[in-house]
Amino acid sequence: MIFNINNKMAFSNYYKKFNLLSLVLIFLSIIFLFFKGLNFGVDFKGGTLIEIRPTDLNINIGEIRQSFLKMNLGDVTVKKFGQQNDYLVKIEMKKEKKSDFIKSINEKLSSDLGSNVDFRRVENVGPKVSNELLNDGILAISLSLAAMLFYIWIRFEWQFSIGAIIAIVHDVIITLGFFSLLSYEINLSIVAAVLTIVGYSMNDTVVIFDRIRENLKKYSKISTSDICDTSINETLSRTLITSITTLLALLSIYIFGGPILMGFSFAMIIGVIIGTYSSIFVATPILNYTKVTQETILKEENKN
Amino acid sequence: MLYFSKLKLFIIYFLIIFLSFFSLNNFFDINKNFIFSKKINLGLDLQGGSYLLLEVDSSPILNRDLQQKLLNIRKELIKNKIKYQSLILDNETIVLKIDINNIKKFEESFLDKDNFLNPYYEQYRSYQLEHAIDGNTIKINYSKFGLIEINSSALTQSLEIVRRRIDEVGTKDPTIIRRGSNRILIELPGLENPNRVKDLLGKTANLTFRLVSENEDDFGFEKLNYENSDDKLSVSKRVIVSGDNLTNAKPAFDNITNKAVVNFNFDRIGAKKFARVTTDNVGKRLAIVLDEEIISAPSINEPILGGSGQISGNFTFQSATDLALLLRSGALPAPLNIIEERTVGPDLGEDSIKAGTISLIIGFLLVILFMFFKYKFLGLIANMALIINLVLLLGILTLLEATLTLPGIAGIILTVGMAVDANVLIFERIKEEMKTESSQIHSFDAGYQKAKTAVFDANITTLISAIILFFLGSGPVKGFAVTLGIGILTTLFSAYFFARHLSSLYVMKNKNRVISI
Contact B409, B476 (CB under 8 A): no
Domains in chain B, start-ordered, CATH in brackets? 6-46+346-509 (1.20.1640.10), 59-147 (3.30.1240), 207-304 (3.30.1360.200)
- Least confident range from A60-64, A97-101, B231-235, B366-370: namely A97-101
Q: What is the DSSP string of B108-142?
A: HHHT-TT-SSS-EETTTTEESEEEEEETTEEEEEE
What pTM, to 2 d.p., does this model score? 0.85
* Residues B274-284 pLDDT 10s: 899 889 888 88
CA A188 to chain centre: 12
Dist. CA A44–CA B284, nearest whole Å: 55
Q: What is the mean pLDDT of chain B?
A: 86
Q: Confidence band (pLDDT; 50, 70, 90) for B218?
A: low
CA A133 to chain centre: 17
Residue B340 in contact with partner chain A when CB distance is under 8 A: yes
pLDDT score recorded for residue B481: 92
Dist. CA A282–CA A269, nearest whole Å: 19
CB-CB: which of A1, A198, A235 is closest to B465?
A: A198
pLDDT score recorded for residue B35: 60
The count of other CB atoms within 10 Å of the CB of residue B40 is 20
Question: What is the Cβ-side half-sphere exposure of residue A43, based on CA atoms within 13 angstroms?
Answer: 20
Residue A192 in contact with partner chain B when CB distance is under 8 A: yes
Contact A29, A270 (CB under 8 A): no
**Topology classification of domain A11-41+129-303:** Multidrug efflux transporter AcrB transmembrane fold (1.20.1640)
Dist. CA A5–CA A45, nearest whole Å: 48
Dist. CA A73–CA B235, nearest whole Å: 34
pLDDT at A304 over 60: no
Mean pLDDT of B303-326: 86
pLDDT at A251 over 90: yes
pLDDT score recorded for residue A93: 67
Partners of B260 in the β-ladder: B253
A residues 34-63 closer than 8 Å to B (CB): 51
Task: Among B61-75, B291-305, B477-491, name the most confident range.
Answer: B477-491
* Residues B92-115 pLDDT 10s: 888 888 888 778 877 877 787 777
B residues 437-456 closer than 8 Å to A (CB): 453-454
Higher pLDDT, B314 or A247: A247
End-to-end CA distance of chain A, in Å? 44
Partners of B309 in the β-ladder: B264
pLDDT at B192 over 90: no
Dist. CA B74–CA B58, nearest whole Å: 24
Per DSSP, the three-state class of A105 is: helix
- Asked whether the CA dihedral B7, B8, B9, B12 is positive or negative, the reply is positive
pLDDT at A2 over 60: no
Contact A210, B454 (CB under 8 A): yes
Residue A237 in contact with partner chain B when CB distance is under 8 A: yes
Q: Which residue of B has its CA nearest to A145?
A: B465
Dist. CA B206–CA B61, nearest whole Å: 13
* Residues A196-212 pLDDT 10s: 999 899 989 989 998 99
% of chain A residues with pLDDT over 90: 42
Contact A38, A44 (CB under 8 A): no
Q: What is the DSSP string of B47-77?
A: H-EEEEEEEE--HHHHHHHHHHHHHHHHHHH
Dist. CA B397–CA B483, nearest whole Å: 8
Q: Shortest Cα distance from A150 to chain B (angstroms)?
A: 11
Q: Confidence band (pLDDT; 50, 70, 90) for A1?
A: very low
C-beta atoms of B458 and A143 within 8 A = no
Higher pLDDT, B198 or B32: B198
pLDDT at B183 over 80: yes
Q: Which of B32-36's residues contact partners 24+ apart within 8 Å by CB, and which partners? A: none
Q: Which residue of B has its CA nearest to A103?
A: B195
Amino acid (1-letter code) at residue A125:
V
* Residues A275-296 pLDDT 10s: 999 999 999 999 888 888 787 7
CA A50 to chain centre: 25
Q: Shortest Cα distance from B18 to chain A (angstroms)?
A: 28
Dist. CA A203–CA B458, nearest whole Å: 4
Give the list of residues 6+ apart from residue B27 with CB closer than 8 angstroms, or none: none
pLDDT at B375 over 80: yes
Do A11-41+129-303 and A47-125 agree at the fold level? no
Residue A170 in contact with partner chain B when CB distance is under 8 A: no
CATH number of A47-125: 3.30.70.3400
pLDDT score recorded for residue B384: 93
Mean pLDDT of B203-224: 80
Mean pLDDT of B170-194: 86
Q: What is the mean pLDDT of chain A?
A: 87
CB-CB: which of A120, A148, A188 is closest to B461?
A: A148
Contact B113, B120 (CB under 8 A): yes
Task: Among B12-26, B140-154, B368-382, name the most confident range.
Answer: B368-382
The count of other CB atoms within 10 Å of the CB of residue B105 is 15
| Domains of chain A, residue spans | 11-41+129-303, 47-125
C-beta atoms of A199 and B348 within 8 A = no
Residue A121 in contact with partner chain B when CB distance is under 8 A: yes
C-beta atoms of A192 and B198 within 8 A = no
pLDDT score recorded for residue A3: 47
Contact A105, A69 (CB under 8 A): no
